[in-house]
Amino acid sequence: MKYQLLQTLLPLLEEYEKTNTKVDDVQHFAVWLTRQQANLVETEEPAIPTITGESPEVIIGRLLFFMTRYARIYVRKALEGTVLGNMDEFVYLAALHTFGSMTKSELIYRHRHEKPTGMDIIKRLLALGLIRQQDDLEDRRSKQIAISEQGLEVLLPLYGRMGLVSHIVAGNLTKSERITLVQLLEKLEVFHQVMQAKTKNESFEGMLKVVVGRPVTPG
């Protein structure tokens, strides 16, 4: 017998005995070994398939951009034969159905659009008769918008198809991978919400200063 596992363990046992008093406690050694391996995994640089010169940050941005493109293609196919032209129109209707009437600004902010883009979507939905608007009783300068009966007739049959789109977008990720991805994306979402609030009126250079805590000259 070659005892290869024992040969691997002997240096670890020697290191353990140098730093611990419970040298005869197998359970304590097992806990120590688990912690050592966890620390090793955290400090090792993960192998990332990259194009020469690409940083992980560049890859993240590129792949997120690609995922958005894929999702829009799938949604466009799912909406074929309806009056809706894109994903934004669907999610605006779905938000009004789920959360009830709201101001135009609230609806636009909910979907992280810039105001001109959001207003264009709202104008198209109004023109199609899928939403209706009325004066805001609390603020006469604002308009409350809500989904119309015609909008519900268009929206409700689409929920099943759009649910299938979500499954397609999630692709071949396992359940645990999907949960991990959700956690990571939610972490990024919180970061960018704060960033947007802090840098709304900043230039690009000012935004960089907020991120790194000091002036930065893009190069």
pLDDT, tens digit, 9 for 90 and up, residues 133-157: 988 777 777 789 999 999 999 999 9
91 lies in some domain: yes
With H, G, I as helix, E, B as strand and everything else as coil, classify residue 207.
Answer: helix
216 or 94, which is more confident: 94
Q: Per-residue pLDDT for 87 more than 90?
A: yes
30 lies in some domain: no
Domain boundary among 149, 171, 193: 171
Contact 129, 149 (CB under 8 A): no
41 lies in some domain: no
15 lies in some domain: no
Q: Per-residue pLDDT for 77 more than 90?
A: yes
Q: Per-residue pLDDT for 71 more than 90?
A: yes
Please give the Cα distance from 102 to 131 (Å, whole number). 11
Cα Rg of the chain (Å, integer): 26
User: Residue 17: CB partners within 8 Å, gap ≥ 6?
Assistant: 23
Domain boundary among 138, 155, 171: 171
Contact 59, 47 (CB under 8 A): no
83 and 97 share one domain: yes
Q: The domain spanning residue 159 has which CATH number?
A: 1.10.10.10
195 lies in some domain: yes
195 and 96 share one domain: no
Q: Residue 72: what pLDDT?
A: 93
194 and 106 share one domain: no
The parent domain of residue 183 ranges over: 172-219
Give the CA count within 13 Å in the CB-facing half-sphere of 179.
Answer: 3
User: Please, what sign has the CA dihedral across residues 98, 103, 106, 110?
Assistant: positive
DSSP code at position 130? S
72 lies in some domain: yes
153 and 188 share one domain: no
With H, G, I as helix, E, B as strand and everything else as coil, classify residue 137.
Answer: coil
Give how many domains the chain has, as a whole number: 2
39 lies in some domain: no
Give residue-wise pLDDT tens across range 165-215: 999 999 999 999 999 999 999 999 998 888 888 888 888 888 888 777 766
98 lies in some domain: yes
100 and 162 share one domain: yes
56 or 6, which is more confident: 56
Q: Per-residue pLDDT for 32 more than 80?
A: no
164 and 180 share one domain: no
Residues of the chain with pLDDT > 90, as a percent, come to: 54
